Amino acid sequence: MTVIHHSHANDHSVPYAKRGPAPTNVLVGYGFWLYLLSDIIMFSAMFAAYAVLSSHTAGGPKGIDLFVKGDVLLETVFLLVSSFTCGIMGLASAAKNRNHTYWAALATFVLGAGFLILELQEFSHMVHEGAGPSRSAFLSAFFALVGLHGLHVFVGLVWLVVMMLQVKTIGFSDMVQRRLNCFNLFWHALDIVWIGVFTIVYLGAK
């Protein structure tokens, strides 16, 4: 009986409520989606802190004097295109196309690393100018928010390397496919958080 129910999982003629338990990859995707939402709630606390503290510069440098919009635009382009190549990687791995998966993953990694390098250059430049995180409440909030996003990107890059090693050694098993799908969701969610960062922090700088 369970098996019959289960075989209805993709059958659109059967009412949704009567289709039985969802396939594992749907459940895994949903669970990871819940994690991502809780991660975004954590980011929202950082955004709230930044919004409250961004005018408290304690006589130190203001955002508009520190931020270079050209660099931010380049970072945004890197992350957006890497989101695209990451999606292509997901499609290629669903089609079990090994070559396309590796190339798309390489493009995603290079763009993500480029983003991170630009961000670290910006940070070190600011610290050298005496605008480090301990200078003012504004800068503490800035480094906490943008640094947290950068940390997520770094973790994502490590995860991507691990996933490519798993594709190489295990192949496109269901388990690896599910993990690749989770990585895809993670990377896209980071790009969504970045939209908030560049709009509120960089374009909204006063």
- Binding of residue 124 to another protein (CB under 8 A): no
Q: Structure tokens of 82?
A: 């890497």
- Binding of residue 166 to another protein (CB under 8 A): no
Among 71, 84, 147, 148, binds another protein (CB under 8 A): 84
- Binding of residue 155 to another protein (CB under 8 A): no
Start-end of H helices in 16-136: 24-53, 63-66, 69-94, 98-128
Residue tagged 């640094």 (tokens) = 147
How far is Cα 51 from Cα 13, in angstroms, rounded to an integer? 50
Cβ-in-10-Å burial (0-12, 13-18, 19+) of 139 comes to: buried
How far is Cα 20 from Cα 184, in angstroms, rounded to an integer? 27
- Binding of residue 121 to another protein (CB under 8 A): no
Site for another protein in 28-67 (CB under 8 A): 29-30, 33-34, 37-38, 40-41, 44-45, 47-49, 51-52
Contact residues for another protein (CB under 8 A)? 2-3, 6-7, 9-10, 16, 23-26, 29-30, 33-34, 37-38, 40-41, 44-45, 47-49, 51-52, 69, 73, 76-77, 80-81, 83-84, 87-88, 91-92, 94-95, 97, 174, 177, 185, 188-189, 191-192, 195-196, 198-199, 203-204
